[in-house]
Chains A and B, each alone.
Chain A
């Protein structure tokens, strides 16, 4: 019996979320005395790295057609792997690909699914985030086959020295009914959901011309940039940077919020961050209640000093 992990790739390499899901699956397999098998669809040059995350076997369907994402086709292929590996649990990353593929597989296999898991299962019960990170729910899966998707940046990783055997998986690849016409990637930017550090700014910055220092701080820290919703709505920053309840939810190691008041809808998307730093002129700004570190001060004075201090540290 095995735990099967779907590891997605983008631009020819496995994603950070994929490695996290792999590690989660490997830890679960170890706990339950099962084999940890990963399945990779499409091209990926770094499959060998899965060994360090505890994966021992990889099924690879190396067909370039699969680089184009179709959750229906992926689910059909993964279902074949479930049978072949006699998998009892299937793990997905809870990212754009897992969010689409895991439910399709669940319906196909008539299996219970828990999305956004933040810890390994205890028996048949899995802890997941609910209410946009404001609470957790412990959810029991009642079916024999169990499907779990892992929330990015939320489970501790254990890496080692292991290696993998890669097997070409001969399976039936159904035709797709989705044609990809165009890909628009902001490829030079670090992806927000995968970033360890995020520097974010809000209306307190007064105008788009003032973002230079935010970008500079982010560059110095190797961080991605984000913003509050009004800032994206008025067009100061691109929409894909909008974090919060109605934007994207992120859980970086470090979230630095500059000139953001900390409205509940904003917090909903960032309160899973491990460490939160708030810089705001208003000592009463609600964000300080959710912060680990705070500076009551003017962003235009504090941020340049932060840049200088980081430069000195990294010196």
Chain B
């Protein structure tokens, strides 16, 4: 079974969110970058578990520039067999999806696994776009994935619950919480990652369908109004008459 896991680079969850160049860019000063948690904890780890159980290979795929190599090595240290970086600066999901779809078309895969969204841009876009371009079934927000030959049994989140669906390879899936338990790379993995192949390939021609013009921060809260613990009725009164929330 040949599995491709798409990984993206994201700022660490505790990063301070600030902007530079007249609010046109994310301020990377002092920011630690990680593999997007959904991609690493869920998509990649489940891919590795499936490989360990059924054989095959796990390739991690990233679209980005050379500054992404550190997080790609991290994915190799966790256990991916090899990595491919499609060399291009990225800002638009459709652009990224076209690059990935082209690579999958040329190299084949039984499944393409992604995270449900990137924690910086919160797009939830790339997976569906790849599936549409490749004309493969798409299962989004998946919290469980089991394989039996070429048949996949998947749990996915729907409104107010989960649903069990079946499809067959090849397919595209976006992974959410529940799919696997995060793994921490060990020393052997980190050593091995240094010599695993990280192939850099050229991007295909594509245009950006969207462009971020500027960033802004939500207005700061004006401050917390404290109510005494002995006067809980006042809180309910404020919520009713002032906030008009109940």
Contacts and interface: CB of A to CB of B under 8 A. Distances in A.
Given A114-B210, A301-B229, A180 B216 contact: no
Interface string B126-153: 1111111100011111000000000001
A72 B137 contact: yes
Given A185-B160, A295-B227, A197 B245 contact: yes
Residue picked from B125, B159, B165, most chain A C-beta under 10 Å: B159
A125 interface: yes
Contact of B226 (A133, A137, A296): A296
A54 interface: no
Given A103-B93, A104-B138, A137-B215, A96 B128 contact: no
A contact face: mostly helix, strand, loop, or mixed: mixed
B137 A177 contact: yes
Nearest to B133: A107
Contacts of B124: 94, 99, 103, 115
B235 to A, nearest CB: 6
A186 B166 CA distance: 21
A95 B140 CA distance: 11
A142 B211 contact: yes
A107 to B, nearest CB: 4
Contact of A179 (B132, B165, B225): B165
Contacts of A25: none
Interface residues of B, number: 80
Interface stretch (B52-60, B62-70, B114-122, B187-195): B114-122
A312 B129 contact: no
Contacts of A194: 159
Contacts of A245: 13, 37, 119
Contacts of B160: 10, 185-187, 189, 191
B153 A181 contact: yes
A102 interface: yes
A284 B211 CA distance: 40
Interface stretch (A156-164, A208-216, A246-254): A246-254
Contacts of A184: 161-164
A173 interface: no
Interface in B75-119: 92-94, 97, 116-117, 119
A241 B132 CA distance: 31
A202 B94 CA distance: 39
A133 B17 CA distance: 11
16 contacts: A99-B141, A100-B140, A102-B125, A112-B94, A113-B209, A113-B210, A131-B119, A177-B137, A245-B119, A274-B245, A275-B239, A291-B224, A294-B227, A306-B232, A309-B236, A313-B236
Interface of B: 11, 13-14, 17, 19, 37-38, 92-94, 97, 116-117, 119-133, 137-141, 153, 156-168, 171, 177-178, 207-218, 221, 224-229, 232-233, 235-240, 243, 245-246
Interface of A: 8, 10, 15, 69-72, 75, 94-97, 99-108, 110-116, 125, 128-143, 177-187, 189, 191, 193-194, 197, 221, 239-240, 242, 245-247, 253-254, 264-265, 268, 271, 274-278, 288-298, 301-302, 305-306, 309-310, 312-313
List of 9 A-B pairs having minimum Cβ-Cβ separation, nearest first: A297-B229, A103-B128, A112-B209, A185-B161, A107-B132, A305-B232, A100-B140, A254-B245, A309-B236
